[in-house]
Amino acid sequence: MNTFTIRKPDNPHGHLRLGFMMQRVLPFADRIFSRYVVMGNTFPRLIETGEDVDVYRRNIMACAMPGFCPVMSIMLTERTTSEILREAYDAGARYVKFIGKGVSTNSDEGISFFGLKKKYPVLREVEKICLDTKKEDMIFSVHPELNENSKGERIPYIYREEASLPFCRQLVEDFPGLKIIFEHLSTREMIEFVKSTPPNVAGTLTPMSAIVAYEEVCNEAGEVINPLKFFKPVAKRIDDMIAVRETMVSGNPKFFVIPDSAPHEMHKKQLHLLKGKKPAAGVFSDPVFMPLVTDIFFSEISDSELARQRLEDATSRFWAEFMRLPLNIETITLKREEWTVPFEYGGIPIFMGGQTLNWQVV
């Protein structure tokens, strides 16, 4: 099978940023995806309220082609109340995003897993929405990493997802009616946990975690040595990579394949060259997402028709069904033809830049 067509994918997790950055990266999202869940950890201002949602959506649609459908989110911070949550939902927000304080990009105003119970009244409101069959669902989207232990000691990158697991288990137990997505899973332990959860819980997987090993990104001291492959959660060991790949192609409807495209300008990725500075975490993966995941599915599954069907399920069906949304009618075609990924676009490094990929979008 050298050419095939599937339903146009959805993107359940991406970062469009603001301003000139958004104008540069949006055309790639516009071309590939039908619906695009837009994360709200923007700078200099987070997306936290219904008013923020309205303004951000208008800014996106001013740059997008007709038919592009952003799915809006708000960030969970100390300022989030049940009233703010309801206003944001009425304004069209369908995700509440939890990133622990200081764990990832623009998350300094977030809440630690240790303090999450203070926000249980807000989560109860989200759960009520999920249980109301007359309303569209609202998702609690969780970045499962813990960067400090109870003593305030820093946890190395490679152990942060694992360290969050007890809190994730507690969250699922405490909210049986809440729709929860544990994002960009990168360890076998977290994947097995999500497999064991009830139907209201799902997980997302990225091609980056399926093809990049920890040793390519960090040295044994945990220092970033390759910032162009530095994303969070950081790439893990080979056994974890295998778990991500196997789960991605398994046909399990609890797992959605996402790009988690998180663009940064080149100078922010190269901050490691300055003493005491850390490079920005995240890679611009939208331009290479479909070629990468297509290669994974066709490499792991020998039956090409089964590979095509499971690729469509993981990128275009499972998330929509979890959200109770109609499946996309538009299609996208891929062909087996080598091409070399440009190193950058508009000053933004592209993931896999300079490397040859086997598939491309027609």
Predicted local distance difference test score (pLDDT) of residue 270: 87
Predicted local distance difference test score (pLDDT) of residue 12: 97
Output the domain CATH number for residue 298.
Answer: 3.20.20.140
Alpha carbons 156 and 236: distance in angstroms, whole number:
12
Alpha carbons 312 and 308: distance in angstroms, whole number:
6
Q: Which domain holds residue 186?
A: 8-332
Expressed in angstroms, the distance from the first to the final Cα of the chain is: 15
In a domain, 355, yes or no: no
Predicted local distance difference test score (pLDDT) of residue 110: 87
Among 114, 121, 43, smallest CA distance to 80 is for 121
Query: What is the phi/psi pair of residue 43, to 5°?
Result: -125, 140
Among 187, 274, 285, smallest CA distance to 230 is for 285
Question: Dmax over Cα atoms in the chain, in whole Å?
Answer: 55
In a domain, 349, yes or no: no
Alpha carbons 164 and 190: distance in angstroms, whole number:
9
The alpha carbon of 124 is separated from its chain's Cα centroid by a whole number of angstroms, namely 24
Alpha carbons 36 and 3: distance in angstroms, whole number:
25
> For residue 261, what are its two tokens?
């495209």
Cross-strand pairs, 284: 350
> For residue 332, what are its two tokens?
């996208």
In a domain, 357, yes or no: no
The structure tokens 């028709």 sit at: 305
Among 97, 87, 136, smallest CA distance to 13 is for 97
Question: Measured between alpha carbons, how far is residue 24 from residues 18, 111, 186, 202, 344 in Å?
Answer: 10, 31, 28, 31, 11
In a domain, 84, yes or no: yes
In a domain, 94, yes or no: yes
In a domain, 3, yes or no: no
Check: pTM over 0.85? Answer yes or no.
yes
The identity of residue 176, as a single letter, is P
Predicted local distance difference test score (pLDDT) of residue 275: 66
Kindly report the three-state secondary structure assignment for every residue of the chain: CCEEEEECCCEEEECCCCHHHHHHHHHHHHHHCCEEEECCCCCCCCCCCHHHHHHHHHHHHHHCCCCCEEEEEEECCCCCCHHHHHHHHHCCEEEEEECCCCCCCCCCCCCCHHHHHHHHHHHHHHHHHHHCCCCCCCEEEECCCCCECCCCCECCHHHHHHHHHHHHHHHHHHCCCCCEEECCCCCHHHHHHHHCCCCCEEEEECHHHHHCCHHHCECCCCCECCHHHCCCCCCCCHHHHHHHHHHHCCCCCCEEECCCCCCCCHHHHCHHHCCCCCCCCCCECHHHHHHHHHHHHHHHCCCHHHHHHHHHHHHHHHHHHHCCCCCCCCEEEEEEEEEECCCEECCEEECCCCCEEEEEEC
In a domain, 313, yes or no: yes
In a domain, 343, yes or no: no
pLDDT tens digits, the chain, 362 residues: what are they?
A: 899 999 999 999 999 999 999 999 999 999 999 999 999 999 989 999 999 999 999 999 999 988 899 999 999 999 999 999 999 999 999 999 999 988 888 888 889 999 999 999 999 999 999 999 899 999 999 999 999 999 999 999 999 999 999 999 999 999 999 999 999 999 999 999 999 999 999 999 999 999 999 999 999 889 999 999 999 999 999 999 999 999 999 999 999 999 999 999 999 998 766 767 789 999 999 999 999 999 999 999 999 999 999 999 999 999 999 999 999 999 999 999 999 999 999 999 999 999 999 999 99
The identity of residue 321, as a single letter, is E
Residues 285, 200 contacting (CB under 8 angstroms): no
Predicted local distance difference test score (pLDDT) of residue 106: 82
Residues 313, 328 contacting (CB under 8 angstroms): no
Domains: count for the chain = 1
